[in-house]
């Protein structure tokens, strides 16, 4: 299973939010580029980056910083947050971002998601952030009436790289992943699923892998010290 260490950006710093709440922020590093190097030096084979400011505003906020992070990484980087136009997606792709996570657009403008996937086949990822099974949009500020699994199913025909499925209730809580909801996504959707939310210990990763997820994003546990990157890599079947 692919391990995606997460770097969430807000105000130029590396932070984590509890359940996507912008008022419950913890700063873990003042220099995101240095955090990139730290993860890669420890054996990370890929990185997941989120522009939290972009997710909330709807447009790129930290593009220059992200470009520097991608250059420093030297490994594939997946980016989400504020990618709501084809021009933005292309600009990030040109800057070296390997995979682009698109969330709000998939709900509000499904035709634009299709256009992005056609223009950048195999590089667009459908980002589904679910609160009680329903998709949250615009930096998790609003919740739509649509079920995440239904949105994923209607997107199966597109040339997507996969789906990042985040369970908001567990995100940043170190409470373990929502394996029931994740299992429904893996079994019910014909796209590779990357899980996000709740990972606290290595056994959580093993359980996610056993369900059949293609990958898993891990954030807070790696920063709090409860899970080392080496242990996470080993649990995913990757070596540092």
- Which residues are catalytically annotated? 8, 129
Among residues 134, 167, 131, 166, the alpha carbon closest in space to that of 151 is found at: 134
d(CA 193, CA 225): 26
Question: Are the CB atoms for 211 and 178 separated by under 8 Å?
Answer: no
Give 136's contacts (C-beta < 8 A, 6+ positions apart). Answer: 20, 129, 130, 142, 143, 144, 168
DSSP letter for each residue of 167-191: ETTTTTT-S---HHHHHHHHHH-SS
Question: Are the CB atoms for 205 and 218 separated by under 8 Å?
Answer: yes
The structure tokens listed for 90 are 């292309």
182: alpha, beta or left, given left = phi > 0 and alpha = psi -120 to 50?
alpha
Tally of CB atoms within 10 A around 77: 25
Coil, helix or strand at residue 71: helix
Helix 86-94 / helix 63-73 crossing angle, nearest 10 deg: 40
């Amino acid at each position: 299973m692919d391990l995606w260490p997460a770097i969430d950006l807000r105000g130029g710093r590396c932070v984590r939010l509890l359940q996507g709440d912008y008022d419950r922020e913890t700063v873990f590093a003042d220099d995101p580029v240095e955090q990139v190097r730290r993860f890669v030096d420890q054996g990370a084979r890929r990185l997941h980056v989120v522009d939290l400011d972009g997710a909330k505003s709807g447009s790129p906020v930290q593009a220059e910083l992200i470009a520097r992070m991608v250059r420093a990484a030297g490994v594939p980087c997946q980016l989400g947050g504020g990618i709501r136009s084809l021009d933005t997606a292309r600009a990030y792709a040109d800057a070296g971002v390997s995979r682009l996570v698109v969330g709000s657009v998939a709900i509000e403008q499904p035709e634009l998601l299709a256009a992005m996937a056609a223009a950048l086949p195999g590089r667009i990822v459908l980002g589904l952030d679910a609160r009680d099974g329903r998709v949250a949009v615009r930096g998790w500020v609003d919740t739509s009436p649509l079920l995440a699994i239904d949105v994923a199913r209607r997107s199966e025909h597109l040339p997507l790289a996969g789906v990042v499925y985040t369970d908001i209730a567990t995100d940043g809580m170190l409470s373990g992943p929502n394996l029931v909801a994740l299992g429904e996504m893996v079994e019910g959707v014909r796209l590779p699923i990357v899980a996000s939310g709740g990972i606290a210990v290595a056994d959580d990763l093993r359980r996610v892998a056993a369900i059949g997820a293609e990958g898993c994003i891990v954030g807070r546990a790696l920063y709090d010290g409860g899970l080392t990157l080496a242990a996470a890599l080993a649990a995913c079947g990757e070596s540092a």
